[in-house]
Amino acid sequence: MSRAEVEQLDDRGMAAWDQHDAAAFTALLADEFSFSDVMAPEPFRSREQVQAYMETWFTAFPDMRVKTASRVVTEDQVAAEVEFTGTNTGPLRMGDHEIPATGKLVFGTGTYFASIKDGKFVSFRAHPDVASMMQQLMPGAMN
């Protein structure tokens, strides 16, 4: 793929997150893929698992907006820093724990690294800054 095609694929993935469209994002995954998040004990290998993961974020932050802050692109990889904002009006599932909604506005950051083959993501590794987000959600935290 050309770098421009990789950028277009990445743009479609980010748009799916921003529009809360888990099906559109998972359509960008190869037939065989690995999707991991630093908070998940095992990588996800089915579209249903990735959709459930995304829905967890959309439930916790129904008004979540995401954007790319910076990215580096090659012919078969992309690395990006992302920013998101959202109000925590729904429960947040983190592993085996569920954190009740706080009603607080959060500004979050994270990174991801993805590998592409034949126009699809074959590997996607997400690294949200969970520590900063949790600090903002704690009682007494200022927003």
Q: What is the CATH number of the domain that holds 8?
A: 3.10.450.50
Give the span between the Cα atoms of 33 and 14, in whole angstroms.
18
Percent of the chain with pLDDT over 90: 85
Total tally of structural domains belonging to the chain: 1
Residue 142 lies in a domain: no
- 19 lies in which domain range? 3-137
Residue 29 lies in a domain: yes
Q: How confident is the model at residue 62 (pLDDT cuts 50, 70, 90)?
A: very high
Residue 89, Cβ density class (10 Å: 0-12 exposed, 13-18 middle, ≥19 buried): middle
pTM of the model: 0.90
Residue 124, Cβ density class (10 Å: 0-12 exposed, 13-18 middle, ≥19 buried): buried
For the chain, the average pLDDT equals 94
Q: What is the pLDDT of residue 126?
A: 95
